[in-house]
Structure 1
Amino acid sequence: MSDDLVTPIPTRWVGPLKLSGDVEGEQSVPLATYESPLWPSVGRGARISRLVDDGIRISVVDERMTRSSLFVAPSAAAAVAASRALSDRFDDLAAVVAAQSRHAKLIDLDTEIVGHLLFVRFALTTGDASGHNMVTLAAQSLMETILTWRPELEYGSISGNYCSDKKATAVNGILGRGRSVVAEMLIPSDLVDAQLRTSATRMVELNVRKNLVGSTVAGALRSANAHYANMLLAFYLATGQDAANIVEGSQGITYAEQRGEGDLLFSCTLPNLIVGTVGNGKDLPGVDQAIERLGCRDLEESGAGARRLAGLIAATVLCGELSLLAAQTNPGELMQSHVLMERRAGGRA
């Protein structure tokens, strides 16, 4: 019996979502999940987007991938001197990266010193790739170059955790890792009432009490949301992403504000979307077809496909977040919906 097995995950296309800003038009999205109520929940948000003039507005704030390398200096003073020297030779370091890759570009570096340890966080743009391997390869070449420049330093590790990969940390939100995207929608009061069965006042109140205060009480790290991870994992699995990146990807902030006479401004800010349209896993038949259908392939500008994908993911997160929070403003609605949908699908309560 072969050890190579395929794990089936139910996948459904939901939508379309109506989008404007950095991603425009109407687009359905694929969600791979065992949690079947997620499909109609995201679908409710998508339906509302089609009823709003400009739908969900997408703003891509930044993009970069990082790898932090660890050097061991003979003393703290030597680590400080090396850190300053590297900042002064940034252009030379950028040339090292450019010489080995036509897609990777060094755009920033940050350093942290702990005792005699020197952490150097390299930030690169990586085209349409998520960039895990690309930045590691670049960091390897950069370390080799730096060790020739600064023979007093010793190799510590190619990755020193100041990146920070697949861990919930503050540094990614502060300095950036992956695509940073904001999705927002202004929902007229009549739609809030008819489609969400709630009000802007109740949504704002719940968001403050649950997402902001509740998350603070729980000790959340740069995160104030209800369930970003649900939509992220479903989208990541359907499009061949590294699913472990939902750890930092699900760090984000939901914001709600009443406008005018009961309109609801609702937004989701996701600063750490580590996604790509090329690379490992993207050549699988179902994945390849999904990325093609999403319109994220063969775009003229390098990185445009990954930016579009990140925008679509952020919009999907907003749809699911909006729907869940609305349900939670009404006693009993969330559980009743889950029971009805899962029993209808044949699951056991």
Structure 2
Amino acid sequence: MQAVGPFKLIGDVNADDLMVPMATYETPLWPSVARGARVAKHAGGIRVTLIDERMTRSILLQAPHAGIAAKHLSSIESRHAEMQAIVSESSRFAKLIDTHYQVVGNLIYLRLEFHTGDASGHNMATNAADKIIPWILAEYTDLRYVSISANYCTDKKVSAVNGILGRGKYVVCECTISEKYCKRFLKTTPQALVDLHIKKDLIGSIVAGGLRTANAHVANMLLGFYLATGQDAANIVEGSQAINHAEVTPDGDLYFSTTLPNLIVGSVGNGKGLDFVRQNLELLGCADPTAEPGVNSRRLACIAAATAFCGELSLLAAQTNPGELMQAHIKLERTHKN
């Protein structure tokens, strides 16, 4: 584990000279992310914008037939306030913000969406759903329970629904980098990087059959960040469904962004009691006990996203130059014995 940087963030989080801890066996990741952070800092910083946040749990119920399912769902959706009262009994932080559903035959897939304060919210959402189910079954007696989780959540699996409806924090990171800084720090040009982005991130992902994903290796940065900050590492599955966007500006500079719509992190909960995790959260400014609920976790999500952004920018730049990627791995990873 090493702290890399320094990072400069602007927008929804303002931070300068921020060092970000990452735990990884892929040692070239540290200098690569640091290079992305360095060039972005010289360019004025990474603008981070939190678009949305929610945690979900989908429950699975069964009706006698689809007609009854449709009728009851219409009624259930109109009783938001009653369900929120039940949710409030499960946690003082949980807040039901929306519901979505799908009907397949006589099966009801009901997706419940919550705000969960500073927690990533897996257990909070499940506990709230566990309290809602008995109420639904008591109010609509011809429905029956099938499962507390229906895979329409969708947790730790690649899906389209999370990107469309949202799960976790939705963060956009962006920066405009001059051609001079591209050449100086990234050893490439804006046009070369944009060209590679189109042919690799976009067309390559289409050829591979990627689902709502167009990035180089976001999972690498998320795993390093998640392990260092006590997150549920399995959530990199949906978290790495990220999309890069790059273009050459009219002035010949590079605009680059990384969008992560399914970023699941928390500053409290399981794993956060470990000594090194507490120290890392404090290092990142995400353990402020005086902050309003949700502030620490939103800051944490923005930093995680910025870390992914830096790794994406640096790797794509490296891959515009034949041999650079492998040479870096040989230099930084391989050991030679006599």
TM, length-normalised to structure 2: 0.98
* Matching residue of 1:4: none
* Separation in structure 2 between the aligned mates of residue 299 and residue 209 of structure 1, nearest angstrom: 47
CA displacement, residues 174-206 of structure 1 (integer Å, 9 cap, x when unaligned): 000000100111101100111111111111111
Q: How many pairs does the alignment contain?
A: 335
Matched, 1:108 2:109: no
* Matching residue of 1:8: none
SS of the residue corresponding to residue 58 of structure 1 reads strand
Matched, 1:304 2:295: yes
> How far 1:260 moved relative to its partner?
2.5
RMSD: 1.0
How has the CA–CA distance of structure 1 residues 119 and 347 changed in structure 2, closer, same or farther, with 3 Å as cutoff? farther
> How far 1:292 moved relative to its partner?
1.2
> How far 1:59 moved relative to its partner?
0.1
Which residue identity is paired with 1:48? V
Matched, 1:338 2:336: no
CA displacement, residues 6-56 of structure 1 (integer Å, 9 cap, x when unaligned): xxxxx0000110110011022110000000000000010111122112x00
SS of the residue corresponding to residue 276 of structure 1 reads coil
Matched, 1:327 2:326: no
TM, length-normalised to structure 1: 0.94
* Separation in structure 1 between the aligned mates of residue 41 and residue 48 of structure 2, nearest angstrom: 15
* Matching residue of 2:268: 278
How has the CA–CA distance of structure 1 residues 330 and 299 changed in structure 2, closer, same or farther, with 3 Å as cutoff? farther
* Separation in structure 2 between the aligned mates of residue 261 and residue 335 of structure 1, nearest angstrom: 33
Which residue identity is paired with 1:263? D
Which residue identity is paired with 1:70? L
CA displacement, residues 63-121 of structure 1 (integer Å, 9 cap, x when unaligned): 00000000010101111111111111112111211233110000000010000000100
> How far 1:135 moved relative to its partner?
0.4
Which residue identity is paired with 1:180? Y
SS of the residue corresponding to residue 220 of structure 2 reads helix
* Matching residue of 1:6: none
Find 2:10's aligned residue among 4, 17, 20. Answer: 20
Structure 1 ranges of 4+ moved more than 6 A: none
* Separation in structure 1 between the aligned mates of residue 202 and residue 171 of structure 2, nearest angstrom: 20
How has the CA–CA distance of structure 1 residues 175 and 347 changed in structure 2, closer, same or farther, with 3 Å as cutoff? farther
* Matching residue of 2:139: 149
Question: Percent identity at matched positions?
Answer: 56
8 Å CA contact retained: 2:90, 2:127: no
SS of the residue corresponding to residue 23 of structure 1 reads coil
8 Å CA contact retained: 1:17, 1:47: yes
* Matching residue of 1:168: 158
> How far 1:299 moved relative to its partner?
4.3
8 Å CA contact retained: 1:199, 1:262: no
Which residue identity is paired with 2:4? V
Structure 2 alignment gaps of length 5 or more: none
8 Å CA contact retained: 2:120, 2:264: yes
> How far 1:248 moved relative to its partner?
0.2
* Matching residue of 1:130: 120
* Matching residue of 1:294: 284
1:162-311 to 2 correspondences below 5 Å: 162-297=152-287, 298-311=289-302
How has the CA–CA distance of structure 1 residues 120 and 14 changed in structure 2, closer, same or farther, with 3 Å as cutoff? same
Find 2:88's aligned residue among 98, 117, 120. Answer: 98
* Separation in structure 2 between the aligned mates of residue 330 and residue 143 of structure 1, nearest angstrom: 56
8 Å CA contact retained: 1:189, 1:261: no
SS of the residue corresponding to residue 60 of structure 1 reads strand
8 Å CA contact retained: 2:61, 2:143: yes
8 Å CA contact retained: 1:299, 1:305: no
Structure 1 alignment gaps of length 5 or more: 1-10
CA displacement, residues 261-315 of structure 1 (integer Å, 9 cap, x when unaligned): 3200000000011100000110001111111111001242110000000000011
SS of the residue corresponding to residue 6 of structure 2 reads strand
8 Å CA contact retained: 2:119, 2:267: yes
Which residue identity is paired with 1:322? L
* Separation in structure 1 between the aligned mates of residue 261 and residue 37 of structure 2, nearest angstrom: 22
* Separation in structure 2 between the aligned mates of residue 206 and residue 49 of structure 1, nearest angstrom: 19
* Separation in structure 2 between the aligned mates of residue 98 and residue 65 of structure 1, nearest angstrom: 15
SS of the residue corresponding to residue 140 of structure 1 reads helix
SS of the residue corresponding to residue 245 of structure 1 reads helix
